[in-house]
Structure 1
Amino acid sequence: MKNDSLQKLAEKLNSLSVDSFWDVGKFLVEKVLPYAKEQKLSEEELYKHLSAYPGFKFPSSLLKQCHLYFSYYPDVKKRKLPENFYFELASKVPDSYRRAEYEKLALQNKWTISELKKRIRQDSLIEKENERTKFGFDLKNTDIWAFEVPDPRFGKAGYRGRLAGQIVANAIYHFTEPGSYIVDPFAGSGTLGDVIEKIPIFGDRRYKMYDNEPSDGRIVQNNIFLSGIPEESSSVDYVFLDFPEEFYSSIENVDVALSNFRAKVKTTLRETKRILKVGGRASVVVNTDIGDEGVVDYPFEVKKMFIDVNFKNVANVYLPERSNKKFNYFERKPLISEMRQLLTFEKLPETRID
């Protein structure tokens, strides 16, 4: 890559006003993107390189929006609505027909920009509800899955450690295939079984649930630390792991907490790898813990342990949750962690050294 050429492009962009979205988009389309094609760079890679320059004032996400803005509305100066309306449409509405409809409505009803934003947001919520109805659950297509309350159809109300069924549903949708055989070694209140049984599109998935203390008749009693996972080797397509509380020691001693966690994950990981087919996947729900002695980065530990035994990390999803811990504003305490992660890994074929 010719750094001098890229630097000149970055300097020229930086000379444009931060508010001149159309001018920035015009320069991107006419000058920057042809350079990217010449250098065989993707648009995403180029924007990251530009944003990395010291003092560069446009984040890569804004560059992408400006590019769309100019591409969709090269004639914006001749249009009847204020320019910020078209920037909003370019940023939020990918479909050309719908952009034209919003433009028509805004002109007819003499909307303010706030009214346009409100209408786009309302329509987005309606679409989301339609998707939920279509699939039978709140389907997410980003790497942040936030749910205010657990769907009452999945799991048992009041069960300690109950995981929102929407998380399980999204995991099955994104990380399994039709006909997959799925195993949950820590089934808890049976959420995974409820999801597969009650959502029609998962009707072709087969599953087995285990737990040391079964909460209903579908769950087979099993202690993974005594008996492993009672499945044939290389027979399972997907393993869902939501570790029980016993995996997490008191954070009063970070070394003890990590030692306990690693020991239990090691046993679980050994059995997970054994029963998974090559190309099979495992998802792990895990959180970071924060205490007086410091931070215990459990997600980092899980990633390292899986990768060390020949798994590939294929997805990291963030699961915001609201903590019930009370906070005393007059007493300095460690921050409260409200962010779990769903880490997904794929079993790779073993490499042979001749």
Structure 2
Amino acid sequence: MQQIQAALTGISSKAVAKEWLKILTLACSFSGLSGAKSPWDLADLALKVQIRWKGHSRYNLQALSVACGISQKRLCLLARTAQFFPPQVRFKQLSISHHIEAMKRDPERASYWLEQASEKQWSSKDIRLAIAGDGDPRKFSWLRCGTFWYFSHCDPRFGIDYPGRIPGQIPANVIHYFTDPGDLVIDLMAGSGSTVDAAKLLERRCLGYDLVSVRPDIQQNDALIGIPSEAWGAKLIFIDPPYGAIAKGFYDNHPHCLSQMNQRDFLNALRTVANNCRKALLTEGYLAILVQNVYGWVGDTVFQVIQQFTDDQWNLVRRIQVPLSNHQISSSVMKWARENRQMVNTDRDLLIFQMSQEH
């Protein structure tokens, strides 16, 4: 009641005050302060206030916001949605969130997307993703908008089963943010082909290499020796090196398999690979390395890699957290950790570097 009384302060006309009090009471009811919620009713009410008292200094959406505890920005959006979708064209079986997403993302085809959502039982999030993905709500379902990328599973569209397989959503995000359609993307330790598949989805050219090829679109190459000239001119080189015997036995004890190296040799190998990348990268290109701490290694491996690359005249552009999920840790390892009071390293960082222009 205090909010309502505050909103009524200064209103001179009793008739107008009575009308406004009725609106505020309804707003409180619709917003859930009392009675049942009704988003569409609140949207219609916000539209009514916007039209009836447009530009008024005292009773308007700002005063309505004070009374019902809903931001003025949200009320403006609700009013716009109610105006865009009058009662006779609303899809009653869909929520107001569906209508908001359709209206905001693709106004000209909003009704089409609502029809699709009704027919295919899409959520409001699905509508947003479907519009972005031109009808495929999964196309950008992997996209993350911050610097914390957590994925509980591997998207089946990216890569095949493989030792140490990472979610293909990781290279998909890197490709999205640091390249443009048509750019050349290189994965020097392609493994399951997650980067290759993500690049194809996002319309980038891609070449994948590994010590052992398990797919016809991944070529055999030793990154410690060099990078084929066909890969030169890359906008992005992605590296997901294996650690701590994660691929033990898979590469037939190849002497250049990073997974078999100790900490010092591993860091030196990364330095060699990075130096080889200088020839292949465009001047404005990016080198992305996925790094995590390994149990038994001394110090923080991520910090050591950053320091080493900085010393070698690489500029750190972004550091993104990409932690492992529990699904990526075997039950035997978890059992060992509990019994020995040890913490499993689930931290993992994605480091994005660019070559120093002074190098």
The interval holding the TM-score normalised by the smaller chain is: 0.5 to 0.7
Residues 1:345 and 1:80: Cα distance change in structure 2 (over 3 Å): closer
Give the Å deviation of 1:153: 1.5
Give the Å deviation of 1:349: 1.9
Residue pair 1:248, 1:257 contacting (<8 A) in 2 also: no
Q: Report the count of equivalent residues.
A: 252
Identity %: 26
Query: Equivalents in 2 of 1:247, 1:329: separation in Å?
Result: 18
Q: Does 1:309 align with 2:312?
A: yes
Query: Equivalents in 1 of 2:266, 2:237: separation in Å?
Result: 19
Query: Equivalents in 2 of 1:271, 1:209: separation in Å?
Result: 16
Q: 2:227 aligns with which of 229, 238, 245?
A: 229
**Equivalent in the alignment of 1:172:** 175
Structure 2: gaps (5+ residues): 1-58, 83-95, 102-122, 249-260
Residue pair 1:137, 1:169 contacting (<8 A) in 2 also: no
Paired AA for residue 233 in structure 2? S
Give the Å deviation of 1:134: 6.3
Structure 1: gaps (5+ residues): 1-73, 103-115, 251-255
Residue pair 1:311, 1:346 contacting (<8 A) in 2 also: yes
Q: 1:244 aligns with which of 224, 242, 245?
A: 242
Residues 1:339 and 1:127: Cα distance change in structure 2 (over 3 Å): farther
Q: Cα RMSD (Å) of the superposition?
A: 4.1
**Equivalent in the alignment of 2:55:** none
Query: Equivalents in 2 of 1:286, 1:275: separation in Å?
Result: 21
Normalised to the residue count of structure 1, the TM-score between the two structures is 0.59
Query: Equivalents in 2 of 1:273, 1:98: separation in Å?
Result: 52
Residue pair 1:247, 1:261 contacting (<8 A) in 2 also: no
Give the Å deviation of 1:306: 2.1
Matches within 5 A, 1:133-212: 133=136, 136-138=139-141, 139-156=143-160, 158-197=161-200, 199=201, 201-202=202-203, 205-212=204-211
Partner deviation per Cα, 1:224-247 (whole Å, 9 max, x = no partner):
23x322226963221011112368
Residues 1:280 and 1:76: Cα distance change in structure 2 (over 3 Å): same
Give the Å deviation of 1:125: 6.7
Query: Equivalents in 1 of 2:198, 2:155: separation in Å?
Result: 10
**Equivalent in the alignment of 2:284:** 279
Query: Equivalents in 2 of 1:346, 1:182: separation in Å?
Result: 15
Matches within 5 A, 1:56-135: 78-79=63-64, 84-86=69-71, 96-98=76-78, 123=124, 127-128=128-129, 130-131=131-132, 133=136
Query: Equivalents in 2 of 1:123, 1:135: separation in Å?
Result: 13
Query: Equivalents in 1 of 2:127, 2:346: separation in Å?
Result: 28
Residue pair 1:312, 1:345 contacting (<8 A) in 2 also: yes
Q: Does 1:343 align with 2:351?
A: yes
Query: Equivalents in 1 of 2:180, 2:244: separation in Å?
Result: 31
Query: Equivalents in 2 of 1:338, 1:224: separation in Å?
Result: 27
Residues 1:135 and 1:175: Cα distance change in structure 2 (over 3 Å): farther
Q: 2:269 aligns with which of 264, 267, 285?
A: 264
Paired AA for residue 349 in structure 2? Q
Query: Equivalents in 2 of 1:127, 1:79: separation in Å?
Result: 29
Residue pair 2:236, 2:285 contacting (<8 A) in 1 also: yes
Q: Which moved more, 1:321-330 or 1:236-245?
A: 321-330
Give the Å deviation of 1:336: 1.7
Paired AA for residue 213 in structure 1? V
**Equivalent in the alignment of 2:322:** 319
Query: Equivalents in 2 of 1:130, 1:312: separation in Å?
Result: 36
Residue pair 1:284, 1:343 contacting (<8 A) in 2 also: yes
Normalised to the residue count of structure 2, the TM-score between the two structures is 0.58
Partner deviation per Cα, 1:67-104 (whole Å, 9 max, x = no partner):
xxxxxxx9888326756543xx86xx6x94248759xx
Larger Rg: 2
Paired AA for residue 282 in structure 2? K
Partner deviation per Cα, 1:273-301 (whole Å, 9 max, x = no partner):
22212111111111123x4x576422212
Partner deviation per Cα, 1:292-330 (whole Å, 9 max, x = no partner):
x57642221222222222222111221122232314686
Secondary structure, in 3 states, of the residue corresponding to 1:223?
A: coil
**Equivalent in the alignment of 1:36:** none
Partner deviation per Cα, 1:149-207 (whole Å, 9 max, x = no partner):
11111111x3111121111111111011232122111110112222223x1x41xx222
Residues 1:261 and 1:309: Cα distance change in structure 2 (over 3 Å): same
Residues 1:283 and 1:135: Cα distance change in structure 2 (over 3 Å): farther
Secondary structure, in 3 states, of the residue corresponding to 1:240?
A: strand
Q: Which moved more, 1:178-187 or 1:256-265?
A: 256-265
Residues 1:295 and 1:75: Cα distance change in structure 2 (over 3 Å): farther
Paired AA for residue 161 in structure 1? G
Paired AA for residue 345 in structure 2? S
